[in-house]
Structure 1
């Protein structure tokens, strides 16, 4: 079922360079790819936030219904890392003065929320394949 959501973004109050743990970035991209959609909605219940994940941007919205973006992680640059387990650089943009504490918590809480989403996805059953034995023909 397709759902259209609108979110509003004010003027940025600041931005800074940060890195995201490879495990979090990789899990997010994998879940997004498996969803078959351009956006993936991930509730972060412990913070009452909603993460809206897209390939090049993660938006964080107060989950209490305001629909206003409070923090954005943009311009991920996975090609700049030396290995798949190296952190991914990105631009952090914040839209509230008190975003510093929220940003600190988001790194860990997003990872936990992605892990929960992945475990629910696994419980629903991923497509399975069949292994066919290879038999050599004698000549």
Structure 2
């Protein structure tokens, strides 16, 4: 299973999980930088329209069967730190030959990352819960974003 398939299955899984939440949006990240998938919600009534806020609920980095998991682990930890310790998951195919090793590393070192597994039928399973907190971001007048 390639990375694009993993991304599509994770997007569908999250969209289904958040289907009843009207203010929550499941988003696909930029293909060139940042996490592959994230879940956010905007404040319903901004205090100041020029300085709206939104909350990041979770981040997911997705990898395919042929991906280097050491690199993926580093990327995911980086996102966890860069985004203010928001719950961060690494999603990989069940068929990846190093899945059990990755799970062991995350658990033994008690890393804050969660782990999602995608099977051949596109089903997504949460193997390990991520640690972290929702992070509120302020959008400034110049378009910059700050962790609130």
Q: Please indicate the TM-score interval, normalised by the length of the shorter structure.
A: under 0.3
1 or 2 for the larger relative contact order (CA 8 Å, sep ≥6)? Answer: 1
Higher strand share: 2
Higher helix share: 1
Larger radius of gyration: 1
TM-score by length of structure 1 reads 0.28
